[in-house]
């Protein structure tokens, strides 16, 4: 476990497979209320706990986060100025636990990995090194946990939001709109999209909720063969939808790609499934 987590001691607390930290960090997160916030942010069910205040008839809203007063402590002008200076010190700024080279929690590590994978230049601040920044930023951003990603001074969100934006391509889109990275041409965007997974399905809807019968048939064929695949809903982006027809020289959807090369549409996929060639072709 020490090697797996790159964390030298135990206990180790994990949330959704990501390391939060050891005893000292967990206690500090509990004392500050951040531990509960992390669980709530990642949709971890929490058992309702009674308290003396509740037993005494005091409204539940009067206490939260382990007994701390719900209303946040206000920031002084100097504290606010310092936090805003940090946020705006780089076009892309992340507030994480640890450093990009040595993240101190799994969620921070995940966010850093996404930024590095996208080749996005960024600066970082270790909130474990400064408790005033750690607590004050929660108040300023109205975001209760870490990591936090800012682009041009505006809060984007934490690791879950950044991961969803990364998967959908929205992260690069926002960065290009803000002038942080050069705007991708449509052709570059389409190349990136069809190569984003070894087996990539451009379809109407999603694998869990296809929006046309042909897309549904291809999804079922891939699942039946046990093929792992990525997908993109072409109904969510008209520019991609129209551009792919020219890019692939294929006028309809769905379109199935393997290693960036077009395999074909519904009829071809179903023929390959029937002949037994589908799985072997997609695993060569």
For residue 6, the model assigns a pLDDT of 67
- Taking the whole predicted model, whether its pTM rises above 0.85 is answered as no
The DSSP secondary-structure symbol of 128 reads G
For residue 49, the model assigns a pLDDT of 56
pLDDT tens series, the chain, 284 aa: 867 766 767 788 888 787 777 777 777 778 767 787 777 767 777 776 554 443 333 333 333 334 443 444 589 999 999 999 999 999 999 999 999 999 999 999 999 999 998 889 999 999 999 999 999 999 999 998 999 999 999 999 998 899 988 888 789 888 988 888 877 788 988 998 999 999 999 999 999 999 999 999 999 999 999 999 999 999 999 999 999 999 999 999 999 999 999 999 999 999 999 999 999 999 87
For domain 187-281, give the CATH superfamily.
Glutaredoxin (3.40.30.10)
For residue 71, the model assigns a pLDDT of 41
Extract long-range pairs of 33-36: CB within 8 Å, 24+ residues apart.
Answer: 33/64, 33/65, 33/66, 33/68, 33/144, 34/138, 34/144, 34/145, 34/146, 35/66, 36/64, 36/65, 36/66
For residue 137, the model assigns a pLDDT of 95
Domain ranges (residues) in the chain: 2-46+72-172, 187-281
What's the token pair of residue 90? 């780089």
Other CB atoms within 10 Å distance of the CB of residue 88 = 13
What pLDDT, in 10s, does the model give residues 213-256? 999 999 999 999 999 999 999 999 999 999 999 999 999 999 99
For residue 91, the model assigns a pLDDT of 95
Architecture of domain 2-46+72-172 in CATH?
Answer: 3-Layer(aba) Sandwich (3.40)
Strands 154-157 and 148-151: antiparallel
Q: How far, in Å, CA of 173 to CA of 24, rounded?
A: 39
Domains 2-46+72-172 and 187-281 share a fold: yes
Determine which helix (DSSP H) or strand (DSSP E) holds 2, and give its type and residue range.
Answer: helix 2-5
For residue 65, the model assigns a pLDDT of 38
């Amino acid at each position: 476990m020490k090697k797996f987590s790159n964390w030298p001691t135990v206990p180790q607390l994990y949330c959704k497979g990501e390391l939060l930290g050891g005893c000292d960090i967990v206690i500090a997160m509990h004392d500050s209320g951040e531990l509960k916030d992390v669980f709530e942010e990642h949709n971890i069910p929490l058992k309702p706990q009674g308290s003396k205040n509740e037993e005494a008839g005091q409204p539940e809203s009067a206490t939260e986060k382990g007994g701390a007063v719900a209303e946040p402590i206000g920031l002084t002008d100097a504290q606010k100025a310092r936090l805003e200076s940090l946020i705006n010190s780089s076009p892309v700024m992340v507030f994480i636990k640890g450093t990009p080279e040595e993240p101190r929690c799994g969620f921070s590590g995940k966010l850093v990995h996404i930024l590095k994978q996208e080749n996005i230049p960024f600066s970082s601040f270790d909130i474990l090194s400064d408790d005033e920044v750690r607590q004050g930023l929660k108040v300023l951003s109205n975001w209760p946990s870490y990591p936090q990603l800012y682009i041009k001074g505006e809060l984007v969100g934490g690791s879950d939001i950044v991961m969803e934006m990364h998967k959908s391509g929205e992260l690069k889109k926002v960065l290009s709109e803000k002038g942080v990275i050069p705007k991708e041409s449509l052709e570059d965007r389409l190349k990136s999209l069809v190569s984003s997974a070894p087996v990539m399905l451009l379809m109407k809807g999603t694998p869990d909720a296809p929006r046309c019968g042909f897309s549904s048939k291809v999804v079922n064929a891939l699942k039946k063969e046990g093929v792992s695949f990525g997908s993109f809903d072409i109904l969510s982006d008209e520019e991609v939808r129209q551009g792919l027809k020219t890019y692939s020289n294929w006028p309809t959807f769905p379109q199935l790609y393997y290693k960036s090369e077009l395999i074909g549409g519904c009829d071809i996929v179903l023929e390959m499934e029937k002949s037994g060639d589908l799985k072997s072709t997609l695993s060569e």
